[in-house]
Amino acid sequence: MSLYSLPKIVALMGLVLGLASGCTTAATLDPVGTGVAPVSEKSASIVVDGSTGVVLYQASADLPRIPASLTKMMTLYLTFEALQSGRITKSTLIPVSAHAASQAPSKLGFKPGQTIDIDTAIKAIVVKSANDVAVALAEYLGGTEEQFATLMTDKAHRLGMRGTTFHNASGLPDPQQITTARDMALLGLALRRHYPQQYYYFGTQDFVFNGKLVRGHNRVLSQLNGADGIKTGYVRASGFNIVTSVSDNGRQLVAVVMGGNTAKIRDAQVVSLVNTYLPQVASR
């Protein structure tokens, strides 16, 4: 059972929206030591106490941003929901359609008609950010990717993600697919609280597929003590995005950085934010 019920999460995050006195803006915090934290049309960030929902830092957190592969967090949320309900199991085989196989990289490179089990599919999305697998899951659970995207948006709004609209399951470019840093933090919190039995997947750094070791590219997992997920993302229009979750000695924190100019800069910023604000996080 999750720590907070859904209404409490929504109410809590709604409350912190109005807590101006407890938040810091990019003009007053320099998380990467450059004098003044950069704010561009792509950038946004937020740090949230995972136990209380209190916002410790935010910059452009409610402005529309492009999620890129952070989208897959919701694809996995609905997958975990199906697992918990018994609709699917980890050994359920899902087919890969021609539409799924045609997705642009990153992907595993399936041919139409091949299948993948749910357990491997989840690992492929977390580690490889495989677009073909994300679409195959969407079609299996939603009938079509379009119908699944509607389910994704509906779920987002039920979680209180008011600034989010999904149009695909992968995060590949779509001008109508938008989110906010605050919404991504809320989704990160919801994943841990609602699906603790599946959450361990987000700490996976590699997996074996067809006899080959597939390595991930979320380097923050090895740079931060207690980092246990969640997801990176990039398309040209979004810049480099990341949602990072940390659980350390009873303290939980979720940090979001969007619109980084490079993966290295994004990673350095999120590491700095975690190191700066983790001491302020309440212990359970």
SS3 227: strand
Question: Is 231 annotated as ligand-binding?
Answer: yes
Question: Does the active-site annotation cover 238?
Answer: no
Q: Residue 40: which pLDDT band, with cuts at 50, 70 and 90?
A: low
Q: Which CATH class is domain 6-74+147-280?
A: alpha beta
pLDDT at 19: 37
Question: Per residue in 84-99, pLDDT tens?
Answer: 999 999 999 999 999 9
Which member of 45, 69, 247, 272 is catalytic?
69
What gap in Å lies between CA 168 and CA 155, rounded to an integer?
14
Q: Let me know if 72 is a catalytic residue.
A: yes
Q: What would the pLDDT profile of 222-256 be if each residue is shown by its tens digit?
A: 999 999 999 999 999 999 999 999 999 889 999 99
- Concatenating the DSSP letter of every residue in 247-261 gives EETTEEEEEEEEEES
What CA–CA distance (Å, rounded) separates 118 from 278?
Answer: 34
Name the residue among 191, 186, 152 with its Cα closest to residue 169.
152
pLDDT of the residue at 41: 80
Catalytic residue, chosen from 43, 60, 72, 107, is: 72
Please tell me whether residue 283 adopts helix, strand or coil conformation: strand
Name the residue with tokens 């950010």: 129
Average pLDDT over all residues of the chain: 88
pLDDT over threshold 90, residue 169? yes
Q: Say how far apart CA 15 and CA 154 lie, in whole Å.
A: 22
Residues 43, 45, 60, 129: which is the catalytic one? 129
pLDDT at residue 284, as a whole number: 59
Q: Known catalytic residue: 272? A: no
